[in-house]
Chain A
Amino acid sequence: MSLGAFLALVSLTLLRGLGIPDSPFGPLSFGLPMMLAFFIALLLTALAAIVIDRILYLRLRRTGPIVLLIAAVGMSFCLRNIIQFIWGPQPQYYFKAIQITRKIPLLGIRIKPDEVFIIIVVALLVISLHFFLQKTKMGKAMRAASDNMELARVSGIDTEKVIMWTWAIAAALAAAGGILAGIEDKFITPDMGWQMLLPIFAAVILGGIGNPYGAMAGGMIIGLSGEISTAFISTAYKPAVAFIIMVIMLIIKPRGLFGTK
């Protein structure tokens, strides 16, 4: 069931677009409203994912993984265009003030306060995901279902509930990613999820499909190499760099850096 991770990515990197415009109810500056909006957007996106799952994917689950994938791609086009219908294709802004970088005394690097915030949030998310997957009952059930859906069901795990939780968490994480990207880049667009899709796929393949820690490491590698590449080639090719790393990976080690099986 590595496809589970894959499916969630396809539709939810695009769903993240939905998570974002949910939030701009007045966070003109980076303050409490933005923090609240962050959590509300996460919840709403998770809810949206569950609703879509109940209406659409639940009925398609028996027909096979690729049909689900097609439905997910279709859904992502729908969601993106709903966003575009409401907000239009032009960028939306959380806040327009420009932040000045500050020097960190010990490390000697310049960084914006926003970026510190992003790093802290990402670290918190990674740690909580780790504890969720390793320590909680639901996290363990999720891993069991990912290994073998049938076996998990036979062992008395409510797989429907597991799938719902998976959607909720994947959607919330995707939304968090979208909001953080919106904070960093200062703007959000309906197709920001699409722009990120290729690097995200590359990251997952690099880390090995079905391995959350591999995905995290893959994400770091892809993200960093994309940014570093801009020193040598046109920035327009940032997504292409991700793709080329992915192709090399497929040739050398198709199971990914940390792939099991």
Chain B
Amino acid sequence: MDTFIGILNYLVFFAITAGIYAVLCLGLNIQWGYTGLFNIGIAGFYAVGAYTSALLSGPPPGPLDWRIVGGFQLPWVVGLLGAIIASGIIAFFIGLLTLRLKEDYLAIATIGIAEVIRLILKNEGWLSNTVWGIKHIPSPLHKPIEAGVSSFLKGHPQLSPWLVHFISNAYNWFYLALVLVILGLLYWTSERSIRSPWGRVLKTIREDEAVAAVSGKNVFSFKLQSFVLGAMVMGMAGSLYAHYAKFIDASSFEPLYGTFFIWVMLIVGGSGNSKGAVLGAFVIWGIWAGTEFLTGHFALSGTQAGALRVIVVGVLLELTLLLRPQGILGEEKIVSKMFKK
């Protein structure tokens, strides 16, 4: 029974991470799946969200910190909102510069801004404490829940060990619920908006910009809205990550984890489909976690195993593109309510 609880606790941890990835996928789905905007700098928006949230609601710099700014100890919600706004502002300026140009420019600009953000976080001690990162980021409602759990356990000393094991993990269950609620809200909003006239304009732009322009739509403005909204969702994911991990540094936002995985997730799951985005996040993160157990059985060094797992994910992406380009679920054909009858 105790092993079972151990596995269950691992699954909760797994689902929280996958859920955060699913939020990122929904953000990318708005940009790429709906509007066809090629953003290969997801990690940048993710990092901005995480750091903004950590600086707004994290503790002030400790004795060993290089940091000068930040640590305002504001409530978690303020951190989350700050993360959304900060990512949105950066996306707004990138979009303003590049969305009028051909699609290659957006790709280059996003990859560029992500690298610049990573370099800043790695080098500017006053802001990010460089490679030592920001520590002790508070998790929402962590103290009351932990206090409740420990007082409950004190009041019931006769509980069997596996139940204690289970209850001690209560905070992770709470965080999972929080991630899932946010994911659900985003999913619902995303599905609603793509079925709206606004969503149809985005899809038209994806298929043929000229048609959208001829129909009297301001293509640039719609693209900018989609890009900024997607980036805001990514910033939100960053905040969720920071408050769960409690510690962030620049290495959490490398292009591999921060950008490439999310692309693979969306494409394997099915771009243009919110269900696909969420499914892809769980499937790919499952494969990634699963291969970790597998490579443990072979005599491989840590870096070799890591490289092999990336190759597996990469091959999976290429196979999907070749054999099932629409992804596992593919895009649903959405018709206006007017025509359904």
Contact = CB atoms under 8 A, between A and B. Distances in A.
Q: Do A and B bind each other?
A: yes
A250 B311 contact: no
Interface string B260-274: 100110010000000
Given A198-B112, A205-B108, A250-B98, A240 B119 contact: yes
Q: On chain B, which size bracket covers the interface?
A: 35 or more
Contact of A70 (B101, B116, B267): B267
B317 A74 contact: yes
Contacts of A94: none
A91 B310 CA distance: 20
B135 interface: no
B97 A84 contact: no
Contacts of B115: 198, 239-240, 243
B147 interface: no
A81 B307 contact: yes
A149 interface: no
Contact of B307 (A65, A70, A85): A85
B194 interface: no
Interface in B100-119: 101-105, 107-109, 111-113, 115-116, 119
B101 to A, nearest CB: 5
Nearest to B325: A63
Contact of A237 (B123, B255, B306, B315): B123
Contact of B322 (A56, A88, A89, A234): A56
Contact of A198 (B111, B263, B315, B321): B111
A74 B318 contact: yes
Contacts of B105: 205, 250, 254
A205 B111 CA distance: 14
A78 B321 contact: no
Interface string B207-245: 000000000000000000000000000000000000000
A250 B97 contact: yes
Interface in B52-106: 97-98, 101-105
B308 A81 contact: yes
B303 interface: yes
A236 B123 contact: yes
A85 to B, nearest CB: 4
A42 B67 CA distance: 47
B304 to A, nearest CB: 5
Interface in B288-319: 301, 303-304, 306-308, 310-311, 313-315, 317-318
B311 A67 contact: no
Interface in A206-254: 209, 234, 236-237, 239-240, 243, 246-247, 250-251, 254
A29 B287 CA distance: 45
A167 interface: no
A71 B322 CA distance: 9
Q: Is the interface of A mostly helix, strand, loop or mixed?
A: helix
Given A66-B36, A84-B303, A85-B304, A78 B112 contact: no
Contact of A82 (B97, B107, B307, B318): B307
Nearest to B301: A88
A38 interface: no
Contacts of A202: 108, 112
A7 B112 CA distance: 16
Contacts of B13: none
A75 interface: yes
A254 to B, nearest CB: 5
Contacts of B107: 69
B119 A71 contact: no
A205 B112 CA distance: 12
Contacts of B283: none
Given A201-B112, A202-B112, A205-B105, A73 B263 contact: yes
Contacts of B264: 74
Interface of A: 2-3, 6, 56, 59-60, 63, 65-67, 69-71, 73-75, 77-78, 81-82, 84-85, 88-89, 194, 197-198, 201-202, 205, 209, 234, 236-237, 239-240, 243, 246-247, 250-251, 254
11 contacts: A66-B36, A71-B318, A78-B315, A197-B111, A198-B111, A201-B112, A205-B108, A209-B104, A240-B119, A246-B108, A250-B105
Interface of B: 36, 38, 40, 97-98, 101-105, 107-109, 111-113, 115-116, 119-120, 122-123, 255-256, 260, 263-264, 267, 301, 303-304, 306-308, 310-311, 313-315, 317-318, 321-322, 325
Given A56-B318, A67-B325, A74-B317, 10 more contacts: A6-B104, A63-B325, A73-B40, A73-B263, A74-B263, A74-B314, A78-B314, A78-B315, A243-B112, A251-B97
